[in-house]
């Protein structure tokens, strides 16, 4: 059983999802006010927060930004905003997942289990025991004891991804990491470098999908074999 906090305005909108969470064995709490929710997460964090974007006093995105400045607490955004730019904004701020309304309560429960599992894996893999290390020489990386010859861009991308295993980084975030001096580079250039990176990573273990794609959003580093594939 996990303690799940649902932050959404309106009891009627929340009741169906609360019932489904409790049927799934979770302890579910509902808060409607953004300021109250922010205080609760900071002082008594649940296992995971389901966070609506439109909230009184403090918006969901503001809460997400404030929480990410302090912790990696698991957060799934819930919103009626279906535009890609809104979803990318949430991921840029550090959301673990993003669910657009209307949604299936059962699907939300499945996503909760997936996010909790990934966060547990991320916390289990301590930084010193990461399977990838970077040498002092630019372009040198060692993955599970295997030397990887990398270009400068590939090295910067791999550093950014591996620093936050399991967390989805948007193309814009990766572009900032790998092309900090470029102002007119298209985000899709990230895909080309990721493709080349995957080929090199496959020489270490072809069966392990080291870089997970999230359609329309970006990529995440999987330092352990995926359990939800």
Q: Are 32 and 58 in contact (CB under 8 A)?
A: no
CATH of the structural domain 3-124, one choice from 3.30.460.80, 3.30.530.20, 3.40.50.2300, 3.40.50.300: 3.40.50.2300
Sheet holding 211-214, edge to edge: 169-170, 218-221, 211-214
Angle (CA) 217-221-223 rounded to 5° is 155
pLDDT tens, residue by residue, 120-141: 776 655 444 456 787 655 567 8
The third-level CATH classification (topology) of the domain covering 127-221 is: Arc Repressor Mutant, subunit A (1.10.10)
Q: Answer yes or no: is pLDDT of 50 > 90.
A: yes
pLDDT tens, residue by residue, 189-204: 899 999 999 998 888 8
Where do you find CATH 1.10.10.10 in the chain?
127-221
Is the model's pTM score more than 0.85? Answer: no
């Amino acid at each position: 059983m996990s303690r799940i906090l649902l932050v959404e305005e309106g009891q009627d909108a929340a009741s169906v999802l609360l019932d489904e969470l409790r049927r799934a064995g979770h302890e579910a709490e509902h808060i409607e006010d953004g300021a109250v929710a922010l205080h609760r997460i900071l002082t008594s964090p649940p296992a995971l927060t389901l966070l609506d974007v439109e909230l009184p006093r403090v918006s969901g995105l503001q809460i997400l930004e404030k929480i990410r400045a302090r912790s990696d607490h698991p957060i799934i955004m819930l919103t009626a905003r279906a535009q890609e730019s809104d979803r990318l904004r949430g991921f840029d701020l550090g959301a673990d997942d993003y669910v657009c309304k209307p949604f299936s309560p059962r699907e939300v429960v499945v996503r909760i289990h997936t996010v909790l599992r990934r966060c547990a894996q991320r916390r289990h893999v301590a930084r010193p025991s990461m399977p990838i290390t970077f040498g002092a020489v630019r372009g040198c990386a060692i993955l599970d004891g295997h030397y990887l010859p990398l270009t400068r861009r590939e090295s910067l991308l791999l550093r950014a991804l591996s620093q936050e295993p399991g967390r989805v980084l948007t193309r814009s975030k990766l572009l900032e990491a790998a092309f900090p001096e470029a102002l007119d580079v298209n985000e899709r250039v990230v895909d080309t470098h990721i493709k080349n990176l995957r080929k090199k990573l496959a020489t270490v273990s072809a069966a392990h999908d080291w870089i997970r794609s999230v359609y329309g959003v970006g990529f995440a580093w999987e330092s352990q074999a995926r359990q939800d594939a």
